[in-house]
Structure 1
Amino acid sequence: MEKYKPVYNLLKNLNISFSVVEHPPVYTTEEADKYIEGIDAVPTKTLFLCNRKKNKYYLVIMDDKKILDMKKLGDLIGEKGMKFASPEKLKEKMDLTPGMVSIFGLMNNTTHDINLCLDRDMLDSKNLTFHPNDNTKTLIIATKAIYKLLKKLDYEFKIIDL
């Protein structure tokens, strides 16, 4: 089954409306943004990170126009040595590959061992964009619907000021 179908099915079961823009495969937010220009939504970037000891994992979601200050993030969450987790850990934890990471990868994290951090600035917008676990599509979804999704997935999160 294509990886986007479980995402669509979950959203439909939760009565969460969304729209989709299809495009060629993209691997960076800059590439993806070209296909959603003019859409009333904050394009997001989702980063899969780990601490220095590689024993805690974090999904950080923020406006893709921002640049993440890893030291500041570490200070905010009480971790040192924050860095990108390996592609192997990404596959193990969320069954995804680089370029496809989004909030919907949490659907595949059955052990619930990923800490979710949402940047406050993007949460003021009406809509957000994410890949639906497939980098040939960009999904536009109401920001408030993300909370409903996270409740269904039984995921807690921190709102941070990056």
Structure 2
Amino acid sequence: MTPAEKVTTYLDNLGIKYKIVEHPAAYTTEQADEYIKGMEGVRTKSMFLTNKKKRNFYLVIMDDDKRLDMSEFGEIVDNKRIKMASEESLKEKMDLSAGVVSIFGLLNNTEKDIEVFIQKKISSEEWMTFHPNDNTKTLFIKTEDMYKFIKSVGFEYQIIDL
């Protein structure tokens, strides 16, 4: 089963409806956005972060037009030295590679040791977009179903002002 099939099978089993657009591999949000122009849905940026000692891990979901202020986020999580997690940590914690990070990587985190944060500005939009653990596809999911998915895989989330 491919990573995307694992995601869609899981969503199907939850009764969550979604739309998928297939496209050439996209390694940045800008590239992915080109393939879904004119379609309704927040273009999300998913960032996998850690602290200096690599003991705390964070998944931040935000509007892809927004730039994350690491210092501000560090204050929110009460951890001053926040940085992008390494490719090794991403592979170990979410079984993903760079350019494919999304909420669906939580399916692969058996330790349940990632804290999930969602930007307040996008938290009540109707549709969100993510790679389904495959950067040749963009998956559109209703925001309420995104929350349902996160809870179903055993995670809590916090909505924060960024």
Length-normalised TM-score, structure 1: 0.98
Give 1:148 deviation, angstroms: 1.0
**1:43 positional shift:** 0.6
Aligned to 1:73: 73
Runs of 4+ in 1 over 3 A off after TM superposition: none
Alignment of 1:92-111 (within 5 A): 92-111=92-111
Q: Which amino acid aligns with 1:38?
A: G
CA distance in 1, matches of 2:12, 2:2: 16
Letter in 2 for 1:26: A
The SS at the match of 2:39 is coil
* Structure 2 residue 20 is matched with structure 1 residue 20: yes
Q: How far apart are residue 59 of structure 1 and its match? A: 0.5
Q: Deviations 1:109-142 (Å, cap 9, x if unpaired)?
A: 0000111111111112100000000000000000
**Residue 133 of structure 2 aligns to a residue in which SS?**
coil
User: 2:144 corresponds to which residue?
Assistant: 144
Which residue does 1:125 correspond to in 2?
A: 125
Match of 2:135 in 1: 135
Partner of 1:37: 37
Structure 1, gaps ≥5 residues long:
none
**1:45-76, Cα deviation, whole Å (9 max, x unpaired):** 10000012211111111010100000010111
In structure 2, what is the Cα distance between the partners aligned to 1:147 and 1:57? 19
Task: Among all aligned residue pairs of Structure 1 and Structure 2, give the percentage whose two residues are the same amino acid.
Answer: 52
Matched residue type, 1:18? Y
Pairwise CA RMSD: 0.7
1:31 Cα offset (Å): 0.4
**Distance in 1 between residues matched to 2:147 and 2:85, nearest whole Å:** 25
User: How many angstroms apart in 2 are the aligned matches of 1:157 and 1:60?
Assistant: 10
TM value normalised by structure 2: 0.98
- The number of residues matched between the two structures is 162
SS at match of 1:124: coil
Distance in 2 separating the partners of 1:148 and 1:57: 21
Amino acid in the other structure paired with 2:142: A
Which residue in the other structure is 2:114 paired with? 114
Please give the secondary structure, in 2, of the residue aligned with 1:13.
Answer: helix
Amino acid at match of 2:160: I
